[in-house]
Every structure is written in structure tokens, then in C-alpha cells.
Amino acid sequence: QGASLTSSSGLTNDGTLFVDAADSSSTDVILAFSGDSTIAGSGSIVMSDDFDNLIRSTAAVLTNGAAHTIRGGGGILANSGGMINNGAIIADAEFNQLRLDPGVDGIVNNGVMRATGAAGMLLGSGNYTNNSTIEALDGSRVVLGSSANVIGGELTTAGSGFFELLSNSDLTGVTITTGSQV
């Protein structure tokens, strides 16, 4: 509880790293990266189903490696820095959204961004260059928050999954796959 871990030279994770805020806690649990950093390895970062989990890149770009997964609920970036996702970002929490909130560097998605849990995924204000797929699977949703701009790639839903666009969100050059719900 209330813990913070900062990496200044990236991270190789072939296991499971937990970012685990306590239920009902108002104290953030932060995994921070300073300077441009890469999360390499074949492991995963698992964020518990809590609003107070945070992965942050301070005024730099964080790269999620091709074989690496970030999953759970909480926040990524908190309006600071940017991200290149070459692996998987999965929102699978039941009660707390996985909130992506880039700074001026935005988020580039070359892998998969997927909502599978009932809480879903929120793409906060900022630019999302999508060179791949953003998915909302059965029982989940992806919300494009106010001033979220998705550029390129595909939006795909399955079953009851859907995309919700809030005011001033924008889709540019995006393919909505057959049968998907927006």
C-alpha cells in the first residue's frame, strides 16, 4: 500500500509483477519509469482491480515489448509521457476501468488493446495512433473519452462488447469491422 517503484533503465520481466493497491485505499501504488524505457520479456504486469494502481512514464516514452502484457484496472500514464504498445494491454477488471491517459507524446498501438472485463477500458484525452486493433469483447466496452483521437487501425467488438464515443472524441482513418458496435 502506498508503494512506489521507479525504474530509470527499463525492465525485463519474464515473470509476474503485481501493482496491487488495497481495496478502498486512497493511496496510489505506482510503477514509474523515468526517461525513455522499455518493458521487455515475456511476463506480465498485473494491476489489481483498484482505481489507485498507476503505471507512469514521467515526460518520456514507455515501450511495452512485443511479448509482454499489461492487464487489470487502474491507470496508465496519468497525463504524462507517452507509450508504444508492441504487446498487449488488457482491461480485465470487474469494477475499475483501465484508464489510458497519455501526455503530448500520445500512444502508438502496434499490438493489441483489449477490454474483456465488465469495467472496460477508457481512452482518455490524447492521440492514439492505432496500427493494429482495439477490441471490446463480450460483456465489456471501450470508451473514447472527451478529446480522445484514434487514428487508423481497426475497432472490433464481439458479443455484447461495444465502443462508446464521448463528446469531442474523433476517429480518423479507422475501420470498424463487420458486425462491430460503436
pLDDT in tens, 119-171: 999 999 999 999 999 999 999 999 999 999 999 999 999 999 999 999 999 99
pLDDT value at 59 more than 70: yes
How far is residue 141's CA from residue 88's CA, in Å, rounded to a whole number? 17
pLDDT in tens, 94-107: 999 999 999 999 99
Instruction: State the pLDDT at residue 5.
Output: 80
Q: What string of H, E and C letters represents the secondary structure of 77-127? A: CCCCCEEEECCEEEECCCCCCEEECCCCCCEEECCEEEECCCCCEEECCEE
pLDDT in tens, 13-28: 999 999 987 665 556 7
How far is residue 113's CA from residue 121's CA, in Å, rounded to a whole number? 9
What are 181's three cell numbers?
Answer: 458496435
Task: Please report where in the chains the cell 500520445 appears, as a residue.
Answer: 106
